[in-house]
Structure 1
Amino acid sequence: MGGSNGKWKKAVVVLTTVLCLAVITGVSVAYSTEKAVAVKVDGKQVALVSDKRAAQKVLEQLKKEKAQQWKQKLIIKEKVNFVDTEAKRYLIADIGELKPILDKKLTFIGVATGLKVNGKTVAILASRAEANKVLDTIKKRFTANINNMQTLSVGFREKVEISEIPASLADVVTVDQAVEKLMHGKEKARVHIVQSGDSLWTIARKYDTHVADLKAANPEIKGERLDLGQEIKLVKEEPLLTVVVEAKATVKETVPYNVKVVADKSMWKGRQKINQKGENGSREVTYKLVLANGTVENRTVLNQKVIKPAKDQIVVRGARLVVASRGGSGRLAWPTGGRITSRFGSRWGSMHTGLDIDGYTGQPVGAAEDGRVVSTGWDGAYGKQVTIDHGNGLRTKYAHLSKIEVSPGEHVSRGQLIGEVGSTGRSTGSHLHFEVIVGGSFRNPLSYLK
């Protein structure tokens, strides 16, 4: 048993020694220095490879692929060098890793087509044909929906140029991308997604803008209602191009009738009647229109033809004033003529707040002064009444009327017909009860009438 154990111990020692030597040898080989090729772009090392020819072949293959993609010869913007050197073996990359490194580090320049607006390049396309397609697409967006018009010309307000320029393949955009940029501006419009509790006011405060600006940027918003998840543009999109369309359109239009007013001194002021009813006419008009991005900027009449002439409406308005002067020179005019049957003051043990003027049912009642009608209609014991505010705290009231000729809010002038004498409410016969109120207190009307 002892001899056997000794043999096993010797075998283990030998195996361990062999493994250690293998590890030491491997590490030594990995960290040993050997010949290599440094790949440099504009003097800066981007990779280490073992074979210069293989590295040059990778570069040529990449150039060939880019040329096929762009369908033209290309040049590399940066300077590429392959320099012999020495490096640790573990630092040397496999040749298959070089291609993606060069693709990332190099700029391939070719001849592209630049689209310029007012001298500034706004889009780079692969060909002149694609640049023209961009412009045609934008024109069609603003002419496709022009109905019942004859298009005379379509152009751009800005100076537009197409020219060949050197460009990086990475900067070339598609037709759709160029159209989107020209239609919506350089920068993609920022948006806010509506959340619970949002309103145009809170959104405006959050982004330091104004509600009017938000509404201008989102013309589809009507009123103040917003929906959860709705996108709100924060800035109004401004196209880089303005499509100007000149067109001709012939349309039929309504010609509104004119209203002619004739004064009639035999009719009470405040009354009117229609002597001739107006009728609209019609005409055919040919316009020359100038539209900028779909909005009409200018409209010129080229010719017009009357189909049916309009018929004037003739309105007769009363000019006769209610004049019931008793020779007084007070601020207020007498509202109607007749003898005084009851004065202001104590009457039958109570206060009579106005002046009773005798009259017959239907007798005209005029405004005592210019003012605004503040109330009309039934008012208890007053019956049918009209109250007028003359300003500076002065009001007049006309009660027991049989007919009212004015409405609340209407402005009346001194002497204008406002109603007719009657006996409505608590009344013993046809008469006008006339009150003067100053600062909310009843005053003797005679102090203002004479």
Structure 2
Amino acid sequence: MKQTIPRRIVIGVALYLTVALSLYAAFAGNACAVKANGTVIAIAADQTTAKKALAELVEYKTGEAGRTVSYIEKVSFVGIRVKDKAEDILDFEELKAQMSSALTFKTQGAAILVNGEEKVLLKDRQEAETLLGWLKSVYPVEPSDQLGFKENIEIADVFADIGEAMDFETAKKMVLLGTNKIVQYTVKDGDTLWDISRAVHIDQDQIVFTNPGLNPEDLSIDQVLYLSQEAPLITVVATREVTVDEKIAYSVNVKYDDGLLLGEKVIISEGIPGERTVTYRITRENGLETGREVLNQVVRSEPKTEEVVKGAITMVASRGSSVRLAWPCDGGVVSSFGMRWGRMHEGIDLDASYGSDVVAVAGGTVVDAGWDGGYGMKVEISHGGGLVTRYAHLSKIYADLGDSVDRGETIGLVGSTGNSTGPHLHLETIVGGEPQDPLDFLP
């Protein structure tokens, strides 16, 4: 027997569906709210439009950055009801612009950590590894060298702001200079590394560190040097073992004789260096040797001590003194002590060829060595007894501040630096702070 649904039940279900659809139309919404971390950032016509706009935005940012980009906020889409769709709902381009300004877009990058601190940010791990590999190739190495870094170096995958990663060339300069601020210096005629070091107040070794392959003895005009007072960001350490035959320095036994002036010496018997075969472990940091450990040695012959007699008489300087000073260079006097061109010439000028030796006129201690205005490159030596000698316009200096020098020892080369009309040596003798005629002291 066929059963039928009572008419009142059918009418009831139809009424229920009608009410439900009315409520859905009233409360389910006629628009889509885009939320970031729970906060509404834009209103779209519907969820499909919102998702399409976000996808296009991410695609655009990825193309702009040249690598994958993503947003860091939690984005959700919720249906809402608006009163005026034409006024409240954003068009497609406005929707993308609103989301672009409200969301934080990041890109994958690779950070080089130095002792746990992020120092260099590159676009990916491969580029970071390439940079570290390049750094190991910058400084001169031997095939047997074991290479590593002095600092603890790590590569970490990170999210970074778009455009924050360095370009590769800037990163190379930063690891060498310790900063991303690149300062350049162009070598001029007559420049030496010593001159440049003093002018820019940066240690010579530091300049060598930040200019791999630099030969300090062979600078060329217009050569560009990169300068930084900061140490290189990463130190490349190279270690190797090497076995060499070498001399063993001999000691010097000195006796003093009151018959000789201070600075004069007589060699009684010459020293003879010993010989040995030695194995070293050599450590170099950024191309410069920083350690040499003796691992093994075989002495083949012992050194023989040199016997020397030196003068013990301290000079008492005074005008017309009988003190015997040595001539500092070859060449005669071309300009005397006294008034010259309306002003006092406080020394004598000796004619000498460019690059010829300049020697100490007596033994003493170097009290100044370097550039000094119109004097150019100069050396000053204190001989005791109130006597100081000054050697100016040098082309090279072979003495450092505090050095003890002997009579006749080469301290520099003749030049034409400073206020000079040509190669010559300017010599001054200063007694008790007052200049005196050097010819009063020369034989």
Q: Same fold (TM over 0.5)?
A: no
TM range (shorter): 0.3 to 0.5
Q: TM-score, normalised by structure 2?
A: 0.44
Higher-Rg structure is 1
Q: TM-score, normalised by structure 1?
A: 0.44
